[in-house]
Amino acid sequence: MLKTVQSLLLLGLALVSMASHAAITPTPKAPDVAAKSYILQDFASGEVIAALNAEQRLPPASITKLMTAYVVSHELASGNIALDDKVLISEKAWRMVGSRSFIEVNSKVTVEVLLRGMIIQSGNDAAVALAEHIAGSEDTFAQMMNQYAQQLGMLDTNYQNATGLPDAEHYTTAKDIAILSAAVIRDFPDHYAWYAEKEFTYNGITQHNRNKLLWRDKSVDGLKTGHTEEAGYCLAASAERSGMRLVSVVLGTRSENARAQEIQKLFNYGFRFFETHELYQVGQQVTESKVWKGTGNVVGIGLSEPMAVTVPRGRYKELVATTHIQQPVIAPITSGQVLGTIDIHLAGELVATQSLVALAPVTQGSWWRRLLDTLLLLIWG
């Protein structure tokens, strides 16, 4: 039996009548964006604010290096490599075409220099050198990239190389790039600081970050550009204003300026007309439930992950939460065990849902307690 409880979401929120909804000014539609595909998404809630062809498979060009960097960061975190490891530069890495970090064949360069050179300068040579150092070959490294893509839920992505150079079977989507961008920010915040660096010097050569928004908008702090003839001009970017972070991706624009201008439009729209609020933190009790056949009578119920929602600006106080607890709750219960869900509604529309879990374990009670509760459940149903 499912027990449903409708409640005020947080102190100060109230139910709003249908008449009051009618008086609310509708949120303007998103601006027109000159790109083959785009997405604008809130970082905390994952809410997609605006999108066009976001699941269309397209070549990502050098935005590919976001995944290359993500894999390298995982290898560093696991202790398989270190930032001060010296990487021997192969002839293949040295001969890479396109954007380069100008590393010399048979020289030894640290992982940190290669990683920063790839992120800031978009060095194809640095990307291949890192791939070979970690996996032995770029082909094997591409398999690792695809494994991480699957783990992140990037279901329309396939990598053939570490650089983003054209290949018919090398593709992704704006939606998948947004997923990856959020993972880069969330999982490796220390490394993410490199994406905001405007220039990097190696071997006496200084090169600038191609993300023009780093100069135009102080709220922008990443992520990665890309360009090939096939892909057009692409950009994945993130910005934070007043505690709200947005991620946006545009694929297939006409120029360097265009990709920056189109994402700037999306950021301005998202920050102006939407707001994001964290509703519950990890471990915060949302509700409780009676426990049958246990050593305790009740169990606190909350969330295993923080819960945030993105709503049109000015409508936060209209949010209403409904909890659904699967009854009866019978011991033993383990900490983190899923016991139900919480749904968040705005004007009757579901805007977020998340699993509710036990915040503490409840062990099985004595034989007498179990017998008594069995009889009571039979009587009360």
Q: How many CB atoms lie within 10 A of CB 151?
A: 9
Q: Are 161 and 98 in contact (CB under 8 A)?
A: no
Q: Which of 237, 313, 236 lies closest to 276, judged by CA?
A: 313
Are 43 and 239 a contacting pair, CB within 8 Å? no
In contact, 167 and 157? CB cutoff 8 Å:
no
Do 38 and 266 touch, CB atoms closer than 8 A?
Answer: yes
Any catalytic annotation for residue 65? Answer: yes
Catalytic residue among 37, 45, 65, 265: 65
243 in the Ramachandran plot: left (φ > 0), alpha (ψ -120 to 50) or beta? left
Comparing CA positions, the residue from 67, 69, 117, 62 lying closest to residue 235 is 62
Q: How many CA atoms lie within 13 A of 41 on its CB side?
A: 26
Report residue 165 CA to chain centroid gap. 25
CA distance 193 to 211: 14
Token pair recorded at residue 1:
């039996």
Q: What are the CB-based long-range contacts (under 8 Å, 24+) for 337-342?
A: 339/289, 339/299, 339/301, 340/2, 340/3, 340/301, 342/280, 342/286, 342/303, 342/307
| Residue 122 falls in which region: left (phi positive, over 0), alpha (psi -120 to 50) or beta | left
Catalytic residue of the set 122, 181, 238, 248: 122
Q: In what order do the strands lie in the sheet with 48-52?
A: 48-52, 37-42, 244-253, 232-241, 220-228
> What is the 3-state secondary structure of 182-232?
HHHHHHCHHHHHHHHCCEEEECCEEEECCCCHHHHCCCEEEEEEEEECCCE
265 flagged as catalytic: no
From the candidates 37, 62, 73, 181, give the one annotated as an active-site residue.
Answer: 62
Phi, psi of 237 (to 5 degrees): -140, 160
Phi, psi of 299 (to 5 degrees): -130, 135
Annotated active-site residue 62? The verdict is: yes
For residue 328, say if its preceding peptide bond is cis, omega within 30 degrees of 0: yes
Residues with a known catalytic role: 62, 65, 122
